[in-house]
């Protein structure tokens, strides 16, 4: 496709050329990502306010989260961001096989992330750790805590911490699920993607990097500090 | 344009004047740095720095976020306006968090004192 030509079937009528189409699509995705940051910003505010006032609760609740699972999931998501960025490169260069491999890899890594999250959630819920008033840790899970935590009484508002935990990681998990759907959609459209039609790959990859960015902050805030 | 960028754009699809194809070296270098920073953040969290633990964790997370945005999200190579959107939203989200935390920590002692007084009255 030439810079000013309409020689591709993927050029929509309202655009001067492919460059204008790709740039407009990109701007739209970026504005959407901006609204996503503000959307998560509200939840980060809830986290910060609760933490500022009840630091002892956060110190205690932190014993219920396994940092090794969180770190593992961080590596999974970072690798998936690499494969998503590589998919854009493959699409731009017309490397069809590479594109199929990187899109599939990103999809499977996203599934691996959710699988780990499923085990974390189910382990907590089976042991009575729900959100809000539904948080009554079982004797079994309390016995498995480190000595420093077992010496303390169970804080009265532990459920509020887990409300914030489930809301933030759950909303992030929904984003991962949506991302999987988008990568499946790209895989289905694989024959149409290439050097003259890679805007969709770029947009989905940008969204995926934002999902990764949110996790980069969630991981230390919940699992580490 | 740096020498590296101009050499990589030579392999860009024809006709895409402003397309930037990120090199494998840049992609792998970025992910290696992100892995290393993840290890650093875990190690630092095991050292008790008091209130500085949160600052260190958020600082490292911000560096990681900048690496993702600059290379994976192509911000280093393209339109300034996308940077304005991302940084603008991040700044306003941080302002929201900052001001609300200032506010709540300012009034929390009063609230707790009143709560304690009311409990005594009953």
Domain count, chain A: 1
Q: Are residues B52 and B111 in the same domain?
A: no
Question: A15's torsion region: left (phi>0), alpha (psi -120 to 50) or beta?
Answer: beta
Chain A residues with CB-CB distance to B16 below 8 A = 3, 18-19, 22, 92, 195
Domain containing residue A173: CATH number = 1.20.120.80
Domain containing residue A34 = 28-224
Is the residue at A13 inside a domain? no
Domain containing residue B25 = 1-78
Q: Do A92 and B21 touch (CB under 8 A)?
A: yes
CA distance B75 to chain A (A): 11
Between B108 and B34, the more confident residue is B34
Q: Do B79 and A23 touch (CB under 8 A)?
A: yes
pLDDT at A165 (0 to 100): 95
pLDDT at A7 (0 to 100): 63
Is the residue at A5 inside a domain? no
Q: Are residues B69 and B103 in the same domain?
A: no
The gap from C-alpha B31 to its chain's centroid, in whole angstroms, comes to: 15
B111–chain A Cβ distance below 8 A for any pair: no
Q: Are residues B65 and B114 in the same domain?
A: no
Is the residue at A185 inside a domain? yes
| End-to-end CA gap in chain A | 52
pLDDT at A2 (0 to 100): 40
Q: Does residue B8 have a pLDDT over 50? A: no
**Global pTM?**
0.88
Is the residue at A17 inside a domain? no
Is the residue at A16 inside a domain? no
Is the residue at A176 inside a domain? yes
Residue A192 is classified by DSSP as: G
Is the residue at A118 inside a domain? yes
Q: Are residues B16 and B73 in the same domain?
A: yes
Q: Could you count the other beta carbons within 10 Å of the beta carbon of residue A154?
A: 11
pLDDT at B17 (0 to 100): 52
CA distance A206 to A214: 13
This model of the complex carries an ipTM of: 0.87
Q: Which residue of A has its CA nearest to B71?
A: A85
> Do residues B22 and A198 touch, judged by C-beta distance below 8 A?
no
Interface of A with B in 154-183 (CB under 8 A): none
Q: Are residues B88 and B67 in the same domain?
A: no
Q: Tens of pLDDT along B84-99? A: 999 999 999 999 999 9
Chain A residues with CB-CB distance to B54 below 8 A = 225
Domain count, chain B: 2
pLDDT at B65 (0 to 100): 95
Q: Are residues B33 and B93 in the same domain?
A: no
Q: What is the mean pLDDT of each run of 10 residues along chain A (225 residues)?
A: 56 86 91 95 95 89 91 97 96 94 97 97 92 87 84 86 95 97 96 90 96 96 90
Q: Do A42 and B96 touch (CB under 8 A)?
A: yes
Q: Are residues B17 and B40 in the same domain?
A: yes
Q: Are residues B70 and B11 in the same domain?
A: yes
Nearest to A167 by CA among A44, A37, A52, A63: A44
Is the residue at A171 inside a domain? yes
Q: Does residue B15 have a pLDDT over 70? A: no
pLDDT at B18 (0 to 100): 63
Interface test with A, best of B40, B70, B73 (most A CBs within 10 A): B73
Q: Do B82 and A82 touch (CB under 8 A)?
A: no
Q: Are residues B54 and B9 in the same domain?
A: yes
Q: Which two tokens stand for residue B14?
A: 């024809």
Interface of A with B in 64-103 (CB under 8 A): 67, 71, 74-75, 78-79, 81-82, 84-86, 88-89, 92-94
CA distance A119 to A161: 19
Q: Does residue B16 have a pLDDT over 70? A: no
């Amino acid at each position: 496709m030439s810079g000013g030509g309409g020689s591709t079937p993927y050029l929509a009528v309202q655009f001067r050329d492919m460059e204008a189409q790709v740039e407009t699509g990109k701007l739209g995705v970026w504005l959407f990502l901006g609204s996503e940051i503000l959307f998560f910003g509200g939840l980060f505010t809830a986290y910060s306010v609760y933490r500022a006032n009840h630091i002892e609760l956060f110190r205690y609740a932190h014993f219920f989260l396994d940092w090794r699972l969180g770190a593992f999931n961080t590596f999974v998501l970072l690798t998936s961001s690499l494969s998503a960025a590589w998919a854009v490169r493959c699409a731009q260069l017309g490397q069809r096989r590479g594109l199929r491999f990187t899109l599939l890899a990103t999809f499977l890594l996203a599934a691996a992330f959710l699988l780990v999250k499923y085990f974390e959630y189910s382990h907590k819920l089976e042991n009575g750790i729900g959100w809000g008033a539904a948080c009554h840790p079982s004797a079994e899970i309390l016995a498995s805590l480190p000595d420093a935590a077992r010496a303390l009484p169970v804080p009265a508002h532990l459920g509020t911490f887990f409300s914030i935990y489930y809301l933030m990681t759950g909303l992030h998990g929904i984003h991962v699920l949506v991302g999987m759907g988008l990568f499946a959609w790209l895989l289905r459209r694989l024959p149409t993607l290439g050097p003259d039609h890679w805007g969709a790959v770029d947009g989905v990859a940008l969204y995926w990097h934002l999902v990764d960015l949110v996790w980069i902050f969630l991981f230390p805030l919940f699992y580490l500090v | 344009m740096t020498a590296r960028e101009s050499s990589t754009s030579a392999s860009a699809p024809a006709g895409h004047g402003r397309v930037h194809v990120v090199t494998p070296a840049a992609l792998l270098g970025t992910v290696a740095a992100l892995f290393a920073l993840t290890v650093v953040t875990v190690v630092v969290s095991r050292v008790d720095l008091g209130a500085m633990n949160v600052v260190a964790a958020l600082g490292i997370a911000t560096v990681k976020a900048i690496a993702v945005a600059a290379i994976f999200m192509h911000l280093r190579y393209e339109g300034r306006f996308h940077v304005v959107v991302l940084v603008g939203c991040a700044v306003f989200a941080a302002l929201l968090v900052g001001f609300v935390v200032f506010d709540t920590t300012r009034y929390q002692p009063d609230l707790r004192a009143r709560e304690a007084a009311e409990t005594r009255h009953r």
